[in-house]
A and B are shown apart, each in its own frame.
Chain A
Amino acid sequence: MPELTQSALSSKSGFGRLALLVFFLGPAVVIYAAFSVYPLIATMALASFTTDQAGAYHFAGIDNFILLLTDKDWRGPFWNALGNNVLFFIIHMLVQNPIGIAIAGLLSLPALKFRATYRTLIFMPTMLSVVIIGFAWNLILSPLWGVSEGFLKFFGLGSLFQPWLGLEGSALITIGLISVWQFVGIPLMLIYAALLNIPEELVDAARIDGLSHLRIFFHVKLPLIMPTIGLVSILTFVGNFNAFDLVYAIKGALAGPNFSTDLLGTFFYRTFFGNQLQLGSPTMGATVATAMFLIILMGVCVYLFLVQRRLERHSF
């Protein structure tokens, strides 16, 4: 095929060549532009306008962003949501990914039985609707009808029970852990696939060198799957900073108690669509959306230019 395209490109000149490019690239460019580029640019453009009492739009430059970062009514909720989001991401990095790596390591042990069953069970929550997950965990953790209190009591740990989803100090962590439970299958699958890619002879060589399974995992396998762990981290980052649905399903748009579970996603939702006493503002909504985009973009750039370059890819 490459030869075909090559010769088609070189044999035609001018118009013919252009027609060929339009034919092959056109559809993708049009679809990408219409559904990705245009909305993004339109959002950014909208963020540079304000509306007055009469509803007319006025160009405002970066005033909206200054408002968001400095105004006393905007800055508090914004930094709160951003801080919560960072914590939400840290929970995933410290809990979800290590658990995913550990389970993948166990699944790849040669002696394991019922491998496929474990894999399916662990991946199951990822396939469930967020609404169902939110509802189910609300029931499980509910102090009124939840099973968790009885469960703890059964083990004599009843005094440990708290209405975790209702306390300001623990609600975000609880939702973070529910999200971990939901999504742990994804890093698990990616890392499991990477582990399967490591040739058996390499592990055999390490065994002959006298390394235990644990040492083989930390000194041979783990360094070799670093690129995949990097990929998982950046996917986690993007997913977490776009998160919205789980908080909305469990706590609603107000992200209670007292906004302690507010993420950038829920903050954006209230800003754009309005909520209870708050009026929706398309321009401020677009401003928050643009800010989220820039935050994610910065994170991805840091990863691409500082982290990924140091990760060596190994071919076996």
Chain B
Amino acid sequence: MARLNLDQVSKSFGTAEILKAVSLSIEDGEFVVLVGPSGCGKSTLLRLIAGLDPMTSGTLQIGDRVVNDLAPAERKIAMVFQSYALYPHRNVRDNMTFGLKFSGMKKDEIDRRVAEATRMLQLGELLERKPRDLSGGQRQRVAIGRAIVREPDVFLFDEPLSNLDAALRVSTRVEIARLHAMLRATMIYVTHDQTEAMTLADRIVVMNKGRIEQVGAPLDLYFTPANLFVAGFIGSPGMNLFSAHLTQAAETLTATTGFGYALPVKGATLASAASVTIGIRPEHVLFGETPYQAFSARVDLVERLGEISYLYCATVNGTPLIAEWRGRHTPSVGDTVKLSADPGTIHMFGADGTRVPDAVR
């Protein structure tokens, strides 16, 4: 078990700079999830931590050692791959003991570790089987078992659930959470699925184009996204974003959207004539008469999920938005609805895309 520290880590393939000065500290025993769109460099970062690829610059510390120049096996890490990467010609037991045997470990110790992993993951009946005779979920458990027997300081997972079907994904997710609670090891988990990220993480690291956009607890990211990217990425369906411009009249600063939605705002960094972005999550949209500023929109499509329904609407100037409706009697397609939101739930982002805290009153 160990802390892990990345300091100004960069990675280039040829001239393409994939990771740009990433710095991140991970506490002992923490479960950190890296999320971000496909191709943003999550796997690359994980492979740098594992030592599978060399970094272009920067320092990586695991525990109190700088491990930049250590081979993967010397870093006290274990990795679970998306494709499971089990040795096809070895049975489950050999898959778990393969590395240990080559490291010259005593047989007693190997047996103890295998027995423990077997018990923890309920692999008992599978030990003599070859990987091709296992289902996807079983293969994933073996891959996790192979990581556990290494007794690493840090577990690395690269999209471990993305090859499983939906039901198995949920149950394996729960199992990984249980495993973390049991082992108390540091875990770094890569996914592009935000449900996985929200449910598993102590802290989420949102990445985009080789940079870290925000690091925080799941609900912090949801309620106070640091910038437009995080606002759009966390939450499903995504946050409604409206561009607006500021006008000063007497003492009050007002943000007005193209469809006439006007919000009184405040904030030291805000100045008249600046353009800003207003963000409202679908689940925070209110219908009908409220004490708040309102605007109208036409319902174009209704998606009924049962407990809730999503209304796909267009404002008077055609700006699309999504609103969540609770209950049974949804408006119909073509209806005009009156929409508003509690200022406390409205987000505001400045011209550079960063959050303006407490801007809407």
Contact = CB atoms under 8 A, between A and B. Distances in A.
Contacts of A208: 50, 52, 72-73, 77-79, 99
Given A199-B83, A201-B82, A314-B88, A207 B132 contact: no
Contacts of A220: 87
Given A215-B102, A314-B132, A315-B132, A207 B73 contact: yes
Contacts of A315: 88, 132
A151 B217 CA distance: 73
13 contacts: A199-B83, A201-B83, A202-B87, A204-B47, A204-B85, A207-B73, A209-B99, A210-B73, A210-B102, A215-B102, A219-B98, A219-B102, A220-B87
Interface in A160-219: 199, 201-202, 204-211, 215, 219
Interface of B: 47, 50, 52, 71-74, 77-79, 81-83, 85-89, 98-99, 102-103, 132, 146, 150
Q: Chain A, interface size: which category?
A: 20 to 34
Interface in A288-316: 312, 314-316
Contacts of A219: 98, 102
A220 B89 CA distance: 8
Contacts of A210: 71-74, 99, 102-103
B114 to A, nearest CB: 14
A239 to B, nearest CB: 28
B79 A205 contact: yes
Contact of A201 (B73, B85, B98, B99): B85
Given A199-B83, A208-B78, A315-B132, A224 B99 contact: no
A211 B103 CA distance: 8
A215 B103 CA distance: 12
A204 B77 CA distance: 13
B51 to A, nearest CB: 8
A223 B85 CA distance: 15
Given A208-B50, A209-B150, A211-B102, 16 more contacts: A201-B85, A204-B47, A205-B81, A205-B85, A207-B52, A207-B72, A208-B73, A208-B78, A209-B73, A209-B98, A209-B99, A219-B98, A224-B88, A314-B88, A315-B132, A316-B83
Nearest to A209: B99
Contact of A312 (B79, B89, B98, B99): B89
Most buried by A among B73, B82, B88, B103: B88
A312 B50 CA distance: 31
A224 B90 CA distance: 10
Contacts of B102: 209-211, 215, 219
A211 B47 CA distance: 17
B89 A202 contact: no
Nearest to A210: B73
A313 B304 CA distance: 48
A86 B50 CA distance: 50
A221 to B, nearest CB: 10
Contacts of A316: 83, 88
Given A209-B99, A312-B89, A204 B79 contact: yes
Nearest to B73: A210
A316 B86 CA distance: 9
B282 to A, nearest CB: 38
B85 A199 contact: yes
Contact of B81 (A201, A211, A215, A223): A201
A205 B52 CA distance: 9
Contacts of B81: 201, 204-205
Given A209-B98, A210-B103, A204 B88 contact: no
Interface in A210-249: 210-211, 215, 219-220, 223-224
B294 to A, nearest CB: 53
A136 B81 CA distance: 52
B101 to A, nearest CB: 9
Nearest to B89: A223
Contacts of A206: 87, 98-99
Nearest to B82: A201
Contact of B89 (A209, A211, A224): A224
A202 B99 contact: no
